[in-house]
Amino acid sequence: MRSLLIVALLIVVLIAGKFLFFKKDAKPAGGPPATGMPKGGPGQSGPSAMDVDVIIATESTSTGAITSTGTVVANEVVDLHPESSGLLTQLNIKEGTFVNKGALIAKIKDDDIRANLRKNKYEEELAVQIEARQKKLLDINAISKEEYDISLNNINTLSADRDALLVALRKTEVRAPFSGKIGLKNISIGAYVTPATSIATMVQTNPIKVDFSIPEKYLQRVKVGDVVKLTADGSIEVFEAKIIAINPSVDVNLRTVGIRALLSNATGRLVPGMFVKVDVPLGEHKTIILPTEAIVPFVGGKKVYVKEDGKAKEVAVISSTRTDKNIEISEGIVPGDTIIVSGLMNLKAGQSVKVSKIQNLN
């Protein structure tokens, strides 16, 4: 009897719960819409369009520049070596001093060569006398042509020997191949030297060169004859150099192009090996310039949002030079595009937008 009473109570509780559940979900006529229906009912618009500031892309003439790091290079540099072996008898240099082209740097003992030259001189004089006598005898047919030719050939041989001795004598001298400064000397008078012996290093620092590189995408905007500006570390002095050569190939690892510029260095302020900042002008060209805040970086590149048919559209772009405020766009957009410049952190592709303000480029 007791168990029947418990079952009856459970049935009553279930019926009451079901009744309360359906009562809660019931919608009286003219009441509010059920959960999940858009506000405003069917046929009304969704969320309102987002207010944004924009800028109209326009083509303009740019005279931008890029900055690179360069290395100062001597205009000419050489290790001075003798051409022959022997005892060093003269060393006419002081470290760090300037010498003119052709100046005698060092001298190797040449006594044996000079002795052979004197011997050659006497032999040649005698050979000339013999040839003269043989010529007179040939004229009266007292000797054969063959005998005369032997005497003439002796003169020619001795003359060639003299030339060889003079060359050997010149090889005992080491002369400055150009005007420049002597570096640290590596040898002293009295040493035995060979062609492998380095006497000293010589450099020409006026004019002087600067080597630097630029990204390959700027290659077509730089040419031989362009003037670049240089600033040495720790200095406010600005130097001007003229581009004299552009490497005809691109570094496949760095995707850069090597460039060499030349400038006067009469004051000696620039020293080979120094690092300098190089400002490279890119010349006048047509481009689209946007404020930097319009650019949205993402993995693999950059993008902007373009207002098109009342919605935000993502467009990938390629940029080139930039300043603190503006950036050049080389690919991706065209003049006349409406570029969104505000609210980019909350903006999504396809989102409805309306123009609140049209900005001008600063």
Taking alpha carbons only, the member of 339, 305, 333, 308 closest to residue 318 is 333
3 falls within a domain: no
Shared domain for 91 and 188, answered yes or no, is yes
Task: Specify the pLDDT at position 299.
Answer: 87
227 falls within a domain: yes
Shared domain for 311 and 339, answered yes or no, is yes
Q: Phi first, then psi: what are they for 292, rounded to 5°?
A: -60, -30
Please tell me the distance from the alpha carbon of residue 13 to that of residue 6, in angstroms, as a whole number. Answer: 11
Task: Specify the pLDDT at position 8.
Answer: 53
Rounded alpha-carbon distances, angstroms, from residue 14 to 9, 18, 224: 9, 6, 94
267 falls within a domain: yes
Please tell me the distance from the alpha carbon of residue 201 to that of residue 95, in angstroms, as a whole number. Answer: 10
| Residue 228: CATH number of its domain | 2.40.30.170
Last residue of a domain, one of 193, 222, 255: 193
What are the structure tokens assigned to 15, written together? Answer: 């019926």
Shared domain for 321 and 242, answered yes or no, is no
Q: Where are the alpha helices (DSSP H) in the chain?
A: 2-25, 111-139, 145-170
pTM assigned to the model: 0.64
Shared domain for 147 and 245, answered yes or no, is no
Shared domain for 91 and 178, answered yes or no, is yes
Burial class of residue 235, CB neighbours in 10 A (0-12, 13-18, 19+):
middle
Shared domain for 226 and 184, answered yes or no, is no
303 falls within a domain: yes
Please tell me the distance from the alpha carbon of residue 225 to that of residue 243, in angstroms, as a whole number. Answer: 5
Shared domain for 231 and 158, answered yes or no, is no
Domain count, the chain: 3
Shared domain for 352 and 262, answered yes or no, is no
Shared domain for 175 and 96, answered yes or no, is yes
238 falls within a domain: yes
| Residue 87: CATH number of its domain | 2.40.50.100
Shared domain for 71 and 57, answered yes or no, is no
Task: Specify the pLDDT at position 15.
Answer: 59
Note every long-range contact of 223-230, with CB atoms under 8 Å and residues 24 or more positions apart, other chains counting: 223/283, 226/280, 226/281, 226/283, 227/281, 228/261, 228/278, 228/279, 228/280, 228/281, 229/278, 229/279, 230/70, 230/261, 230/263, 230/270, 230/276, 230/277, 230/278, 230/279
Task: Specify the pLDDT at position 42.
Answer: 38
125 falls within a domain: yes
Last residue of a domain, one of 281, 307, 342: 281
Shared domain for 246 and 334, answered yes or no, is no
209 falls within a domain: yes
Shared domain for 70 and 209, answered yes or no, is yes
34 falls within a domain: no
10-residue averages of pLDDT along the chain (362 residues): 52 54 44 38 56 91 85 96 96 93 96 96 95 92 91 95 97 96 94 96 95 92 94 90 96 95 93 95 84 90 93 91 84 92 91 91 76
Q: Which residues of 116-145 are buried (b: 16+ CB within 10 A; e: fewer)?
A: bbeebeebbeebeeebeebeeebeeeebee
At residue 30, the 3 state secondary structure works out as coil
Range of the domain at 89: 80-193
Task: Specify the pLDDT at position 262.
Answer: 97
| Residue 320: CATH number of its domain | 2.40.420.20
Please tell me the distance from the alpha carbon of residue 114 to that of residue 169, in angstroms, as a whole number. Answer: 8
Last residue of a domain, one of 166, 193, 220: 193
